[in-house]
Amino acid sequence: LGPGSYWLREKERHFGASNYAPLPVVFHRGEGVWLWDVEGRRYLDMMSAYSAVSFGHGHPRLLRALEDQARRLALTSRAFSNDRLPLLLERMCGLFGFERALPVNTGLEAVETALKAARKWAYTVKGVAADKAEIIACDGNFHGRSITIVGLSASEQYRDGFGPFPPGLRRIPFGDAAALEAAITPETAAFLVEPIQGEGGIIVPPAGYLARCAEICRQHRVLLIADEVQTGLGRTGRLLACDHDGVRPDGLILGKALGGGLLPVSAFLADREVMDVFHPGDHGSTFGGNPLGAAVALEVLALLIEHSPWERAERLGERLRSRLEAARLPCVREIRGRGLLIGIAIDPDIASAASVAETLLARGIATRDTTGNVIRLAPPLIIDEATLDDSADTVIDTLAALGG
């Protein structure tokens, strides 16, 4: 048994739960787009920690921001203000065009924050009876795993055994604006949507879908809340995936890459009409808006502004997609996604995407399968063309060997 097996076995002895059966690898070090396992083998990171590592592992500027801030002041809690938070709020509101921002920590926490704001907005501003406000989400969504959020999920596995769920949680098909219009009632507070579904299988809705949803929401006085935890900050070839449709949502949820792959930082952004339903003490978090996270997120925003990494994501994503498409692989049903969030749907009669992930791992590409027998290709946005082309060759070669 190698050292990798040792670490895996030790983890399994005490680990609480795993999203997935683990792949037979244990990572020890990361730099840029590369990961090294405990045995010193190198892998290309094609997961980017579900898009959280968009700037690569150990980006020097993010590390410096983290270290400088950690030495100066890491945590004050919400009991006190800190001097990094106002800067972060100003830059976030300026860049994304909102009046208010509320930083929290993980993606699910920002989604919960958005849902709480939407419900209280419906009650206090829209005039919906107390505790009656409804939230509409989409089939195939992934917004996290709290009880409220899995109450919105269509996945039996996420839901089974975890109820009862809060009332007023509803679901409609994704990509169908008419279904949204039909589902809205006077009690509807918000429509929560991923502009491109990530965990649901990298699903891109028809062009104009989000714009039509925004129009419907405006007509019916329903908040459009975009969960851009995975799609935001350049990943899909625009600063926000909403930008593909020219939509500015009423509420924006950011996470993952906002923390630069170094620590959890998420945020809910909205205008005053929505955010100001929170009164002091209504909502909070010990770590939300902490100086350390704020300093790193500020540097992330600076990198976004200076380098427009979405342009690179768009160009390289196109390049990767067209190479994969040109290979005309018989086992591939569909290649989906935008920018550097790409999913290859594999014919399940030919191979399981999970087994393809294992083969890719053995060939030096670290990625996982997702819903719908899909292989995910989502490298850090800093990947260079030669590395991307090499990885495309390996993926094509691996899929070609499956026949079909």
Out of 98, 142, 191, 287, which one is annotated catalytic? Answer: 142
Residue of 56, 144, 201, 379 that binds ligand PMP (CB under 6 A):
144
Interface segment toward ligand PMP; rule CB under 6 A; list 53-61, 137-145, 165-173, 341-349: 137-145
Using Cβ positions, the residue closest to ligand PMP within the complex turns out to be 107
Q: State both tokens at 205.
A: 């809705």
35 belongs to the binding site for ligand PMP (CB under 6 A): no
Residue closer to ligand PMP (CB basis): 357 or 399: 357
Write out the binding residues for ligand PMP, residues 160-219 only, by CB under 6 A: 194, 198-199
Q: Which CB atom, from 32 or from 144, has the smaller least distance to ligand PMP?
A: 144
Decide whether 37 or 245 has the Cβ nearer to ligand PMP.
245
Under rule CB under 6 A, residue 111 binds ligand PMP: yes
107 near ligand PMP, rule: CB under 6 A: yes
When asked if residue 142 is in the footprint of ligand PMP (CB under 6 A), the reply is: yes
Question: Pick the catalytic residue: 45, 227, 245, 250?
Answer: 227
Q: What mask of x and - would describe binding to ligand PMP in positions 221 to 260, judged by CB under 6 A?
A: ------x-xx------------------------x-----
Asked if 195 and 339 count as a contact pair (C-beta separation under 8 A), the reply is no
Whether residue 55 lies in the annotated active site: no
Among 10-18, 116-124, 138-146, 324-332, the segment contacting ligand PMP (CB under 6 A): 138-146
d(CA 181, CA 243): 22
Q: Decide if 80 is catalytic.
A: no
Q: Which is nearer to ligand PMP, 142 or 332 (CB)?
A: 142
48 or 188: whose CB is closer to ligand PMP? 48
Nearest CA among 164, 216, 211, 210 for reference residue 188: 216
Neighbouring-strand partners of residue 42? 36
Q: Check if 256 is active-site.
A: yes
Instruction: Kindly state the number of chain residues that form the binding site for ligand PMP, as judged by CB under 6 A.
Output: 15
- Provide the annotated active-site residues: 142, 227, 256
Interface contacts to ligand PMP, rule CB under 6 A = 50, 106-108, 111, 142-144, 194, 198-199, 227, 229-230, 255
